[in-house]
Structure 1
């Protein structure tokens, strides 16, 4: 519920957040800050920031970077925006202690200026297996997070992914006249470099303690954009930090796999409850909104559709247990399918792009408790005495309303019944029901003394 409230709060605050892109004109330096894994929200933020800087005729875009890696598709979108930018882009690994691992290394190589602060590092750009298991297929080039990981060249699929990543980063190195041999090593062997070593090997151009120092260091340098050479005049320029706006922050929230997963479940359950309670309205409205948000978020993420199908199957089986009790067969099967589907739903090992196991097991526990509650009710119902039908009538005590020689009337269960008796009975006598013959009760005199 707190996650849903967070999403709603971001939407409601849309009108009072940071001014939109392009709100201010004039030349200067635009600073964009990334301090997380590279994902759809990061890609949207950087691409629109670069476009905004071009519209405002900025002198330079500085991407302040600290990332463990990220999604390949998002990384490539960012690199395409950098390569197509008429405004030079400097990527600055800052502050000290930051890193540009994996996807960050590719972005650094693609930038017109590559800079680092002291005590930072880059590298470890080896593709890693999807799901993290040995022998499984490789992930995309940007999806590497373990600085010490070395590739296993055993499978042809993995070799193809590594060769593709090597060719990609070499092309970026050659475009920017940087060290292509080390770039290949960063992919093939997962090596990393400190800032000082990177400067010495020609991987970066500048080491600086802060952004003003970086602007002084690169002043007068000539870089080549898609539109031709540009000589930088950056000393003393105004620095404008462009923070993520409401759209980027909303995208960041809903593309968090745990939140997208929660939205998916709320959407499914909301529509199911609306279907079984037509006219409730609120579950249907909330469910539809959450399901659409989840669909939008999941199409931006590396989703395993087998996992999605298993989650849907698990929910359907658990709901089916409510309406067709199978003494646990449907419900337990649903919980198992739900857990397996949830674990394999997101098809990557990139930090920040996996579903929290605690959330998965919390949802599975809730489903399991529902199943066991249904089982308890079903077992209690089987053991409860019969309260309707023929079996419930036999043994009941009533009262003769007429004299009964062979047939007459008796009052049983607040109803008037036809009755017959083997011995004559008088009106007002207590009777016990022995049997039910069609719509006629077979009764006898009831002796209260036993």
Structure 2
């Protein structure tokens, strides 16, 4: 009887002891920007709520925004749960801002065939004077030193990645003590770390207990995936251009509702996406100037000079709209050319058509019948019936001695009450 009770007790306790050894896995294979920053911060909170033994952040990034990087590093440093940053799979890299995340972790690991470094700060589209360049470089290097030294890693080699854009392979990073180990996959990495004593950022020591740890993947939410797509500069530009054309169509064809609603939605989504990115204000000024010149070209004949200048401003403004240190967070030139030339040409054409229509006289009622071609339905001698624009009218020839047979054509040149005065098409008015 006692043996049965012990067996039941062991079966009851086994699942609970296994459930306690969990590792929450976050995956960042994207640029570092506000949405990925939010994803990692949420993942660290989830790990604390679920009492995970560690957080495993698998990393592969070309870099990103320094402001988001600083926020993520702060979250890693203050996390009560140990954070393992692992560059994987083979072929991945932690470039630029990703190198800061790697060095800030409790455990820094790399898969074979990966690399990290090249963390020199870059200000896209701006040539800094020597003093400002030195200040930016010193500030970034000091930020890196502030946690590399506390993690017990090679400060000199890490700072070299900032000042001289050095990049290191997995074996070089291990030899220079920039990382703690090289591992081929997640499961092997956790086995290698089981029982290892680490020094936390606050100076305390902790022992990693990762034996038979269960990896629980914390994927980005639907909202985070959607916002990540909206944070794409190319998509934001295309949404803005499409929204502008749809709104312009609504103004020219009022009452259709759908183009205006869709255009407003596109512009709002584009504005939200651009709000997540560093937008250059001079580029916005170029876009406004481009619109003004395109409208002026439609109103004043400049033989295409204003239109060409407007399209050039539009393309250059779109290409430089987002000020980011990595190409993945900038508007590609092909996108800027396609959107700028397409938007400029369509806007110029629509503006010309609209202005031409406004200059024409609007004819309604009987006046709309003047100069219309009528088809004789009954013989005109000199009165009879004619068909004009699908309607039957009483008609009278201007000359009382003239006559027209059925099927002949006449031109309306005057109206008397409900009777059209017509003349043969061959005669001058």
Same fold flag (TM > 0.5): yes
Q: Which residue of 2 aligns with 1:12?
A: none
Q: Is the 8 A contact 2:28 2:61 kept in 1?
A: yes
Alignment of 1:164-203 (within 5 A): 164-203=139-178
Which of residues 240, 256, 262 is equivalent to 2:232? 256
Compared CA separation, residues 95 and 413, structure 1 to 2 (3 A):
same
In the alignment, the residues of structure 1 paired with residue 193 and residue 104 of structure 2 have an alpha-carbon distance, to the nearest angstrom, of 17
Compared CA separation, residues 61 and 165, structure 1 to 2 (3 A):
same
Q: Which residue of 2 aligns with 1:150?
A: none
Which of residues 13, 38, 43 is equivalent to 1:49? 43
In the alignment, the residues of structure 2 paired with residue 374 and residue 115 of structure 1 have an alpha-carbon distance, to the nearest angstrom, of 58
SS state of the match for residue 165, structure 2? Answer: coil
Give the drift of 1:90: 0.5
Which of residues 21, 27, 35 is equivalent to 1:33? 27
Compared CA separation, residues 218 and 286, structure 1 to 2 (3 A):
same
After TM superposition, the runs of 4+ consecutive aligned structure 1 residues lying more than 6 A away are 374-378, 430-433
Q: Is the 8 A contact 2:66 2:97 kept in 1?
A: yes
Q: Which residue of 1 aligns with 2:419?
A: none
In the alignment, the residues of structure 2 paired with residue 53 and residue 349 of structure 1 have an alpha-carbon distance, to the nearest angstrom, of 31
SS state of the match for residue 63, structure 1? Answer: strand
Structure 2: state its 5+ residue gaps.
1-18, 358-366, 372-396, 402-410, 417-425
Which of residues 319, 340, 346 is equivalent to 1:370? 346
Q: Is the 8 A contact 2:106 2:198 kept in 1?
A: no
Give the drift of 1:233: 0.6
Which of residues 302, 319, 341 is equivalent to 2:278? 302
In the alignment, the residues of structure 2 paired with residue 219 and residue 431 of structure 1 have an alpha-carbon distance, to the nearest angstrom, of 104
Which of residues 87, 93, 102 is equivalent to 1:108? 102
Compared CA separation, residues 259 and 375, structure 1 to 2 (3 A):
closer
Alignment of 1:368-447 (within 5 A): 368-370=344-346, 373=349, 399=398, 413-415=413-415
In the alignment, the residues of structure 2 paired with residue 27 and residue 296 of structure 1 have an alpha-carbon distance, to the nearest angstrom, of 40
SS state of the match for residue 128, structure 1? Answer: coil
Compared CA separation, residues 373 and 283, structure 1 to 2 (3 A):
closer
In the alignment, the residues of structure 1 paired with residue 350 and residue 244 of structure 2 have an alpha-carbon distance, to the nearest angstrom, of 20
Higher mean alpha-carbon deviation, 201-210 vs 328-337, is at 328-337
Which of residues 66, 74, 79 is equivalent to 2:73? 79
Q: Is the 8 A contact 1:328 1:372 kept in 2?
A: no
Q: Is the 8 A contact 1:269 1:287 kept in 2?
A: yes
Q: Is the 8 A contact 2:295 2:348 kept in 1?
A: no
In the alignment, the residues of structure 2 paired with residue 265 and residue 316 of structure 1 have an alpha-carbon distance, to the nearest angstrom, of 15
CA root-mean-square deviation: 3.4
Q: Is the 8 A contact 1:70 1:102 kept in 2?
A: yes
Give the drift of 1:272: 3.0
Q: Which residue of 2 aligns with 1:360?
A: 336
Q: Which residue of 2 aligns with 1:286?
A: 262
Give the drift of 1:26: 5.5
- For residues 48-105 of structure 1, give each alpha carbon's deviation from its aligned partner in whole angstroms, at most 9, with x where no partner exists: 1111111111110011111221111221221121112111101011122222121111
1:347 aligns with 2:323: yes
Q: Which residue of 2 aligns with 1:217?
A: 192
Alignment of 1:309-348 (within 5 A): 309-319=285-295, 321-322=297-298, 327-348=303-324
SS state of the match for residue 315, structure 2? Answer: helix
- For residues 230-268 of structure 1, give each alpha carbon's deviation from its aligned partner in whole angstroms, at most 9, with x where no partner exists: 321112110112222211210111000000111222233
